[in-house]
Amino acid sequence: MPTKIEKDAVTGTPTTGHEWDGIKELDTPLPKWWVYLFYATILWSVVWWVLYPSWPTLRDHTRGILGHDQRSALEQQLAAARAAQARWLERIAAADTAAIEADPELLAYAVRGGEAAFKDNCAPCHGLGGAGQLSYPSLADDDWLWGGSLGDIETTIRHGIRYASDPETRESRMPAFGAEGLLEPAQIGDVVQYVLSLSGRASDAEAAGRGQTIFVEQCAACHGEDGRGMRETGAPNLTDAIWLYGGEPEQIRAQIERPRHGVMPAWSGRLKDEVIKMVTVYVHNLGGGE
Ligand code: HEC
Ligand code: HEC
């Protein structure tokens, strides 16, 4: 170690005293701005440790005096969102479905809320957008089994259809004309021809004529004299091209011999009252609402 600090002749900067092959290492001090910035970051980190959660401990971590954590920040945001929603839900709760539809703002909110609830609860059976599928009616057309007014739709949703545990559920069952021997197989053949004739598709006019008599006696009470269906009994219109269980002769025959009966769950008590109203309004606005 040199005892006296040597200065570089050209720059005037002290040297470290190291020398290789005549080249000396200068001991240039760090720029002042850099040094102060460095101290400032150290100071900043200390302040941060005090204010915010930072150091791990054996089981936990230091909390910081501000009490900040991501979870409570998220909870605050959720609470704010819920509060904003609550204002709308209060208005929905206070209005009936007709009043909701009369208020454009409320209608827009209800349709969006109803759509979300429909996707979660109804689409598995009725399809996205209520498009329907075999055995599950379309809710987007104007062909209604039980009625397409706001009141009809709400009743259907609240109490379901043939849903045993709801005493106010919609109920009606077509007799098993074949399985219970109410009609002979030949008579069933005739009435199938008559049903086909209602949509202009009978292949045997004579049989259809015989079938008409049977229809008037056995079927008209529910499906109507003209076969256009009746909402009091949930009996479908047999004169159109829309079939719940299929419109082929074998499918019609199967329904007469051993009828299928669709079950729709009741949503009262399962969905919140506000949600039932919103989903009612949503279905009513799918296109077939009356
Ligand atoms: C488990 C299947 C299933 C689910 C889930 C379901 N439905 Fe249904 N829904 C049916 C069936 C089956 C029918 C037809 C019943 C019949 O044959 O009369 C029906 C009928 C209806 C009708 C009457 C249609 C008409 O033509 O009169 C409405 C309205 C309806 N559903 C709305 C809904 C809504 C809204 C939801 C969700 C909250 C829902 N459904 C969930 C099976 C379901
Ligand atoms: C007590 C009332 C009642 C009587 C009587 C009745 N039906 Fe029905 N029928 C219904 C109901 C209700 C349905 C719908 C079942 C469902 O929604 O699941 C239905 C469905 C049908 C269907 C299926 C329609 C489709 O869209 O797929 C056919 C076909 C039919 N009935 C024919 C007849 C014929 C023919 C007779 C007489 C021999 C008859 N029904 C007597 C109530 C009745």
Query: In this predicted model, what pLDDT tens digit does every residue of 178-207 receive, in sequence order?
Result: 999 999 999 999 999 999 999 999 889 999
Distance 189 CA to ligand 2 centre (A): 15
Distance 65 CA to ligand 2 centre (A): 73
| 8 A C-beta contact, residue 177 and residue 188 | yes
Ligand 2 atom with least separation from CA of 191: 35
Q: Which two tokens stand for residue 21?
A: 């092959």
Query: What is the set of domains in the chain, with CATH numbers?
Result: 75-161+276-284 (1.10.760.10), 185-257 (1.10.760.10)
Query: Would you place residue 237 in the very low, low, confident or very high pLDDT band (cuts 50, 70, 90)?
Result: very high
Residue 7 confidence (pLDDT): 83
Residue nearest to atom 13 of ligand 2 (CA): 235
Residue nearest to atom 18 of ligand 2 (CA): 261
**Four-point Cα dihedral 110, 115, 120, 123, nearest 10:** 140
| 8 A C-beta contact, residue 92 and residue 109 | yes
Higher pLDDT, 71 or 209: 209
Instruction: Kindly list the protein residues whose Cβ atom lies closer than 6 A to any atom of ligand 1.
Output: 121-122, 124-126, 136-137, 139, 144-147, 153, 156-157, 161, 234, 244, 262-265, 267, 279, 283
Higher pLDDT, 3 or 265: 265
Asked if the model's pLDDT at residue 3 lies above 60, the reply is no
- pLDDT above 90 covers what percent of the chain? 81
Greatest alpha-carbon span in the chain: 131
Asked if the model's pLDDT at residue 2 lies above 80, the reply is no
| 8 A C-beta contact, residue 269 and residue 190 | no
Query: In this predicted model, what pLDDT tens digit does every residue of 44-98 receive, in sequence order?
Result: 999 999 999 889 999 988 888 888 888 888 999 999 999 988 999 999 999 999 9
Q: Which two tokens stand for residue 288?
A: 């077939």
Task: Tell me which of 70-74, 126-130, 158-162 is least confident.
Answer: 70-74
Asked if the model's pLDDT at residue 283 lies above 90, the reply is yes
Residue nearest to atom 16 of ligand 1 (CA): 262
Asked if the model's pLDDT at residue 1 lies above 80, the reply is no
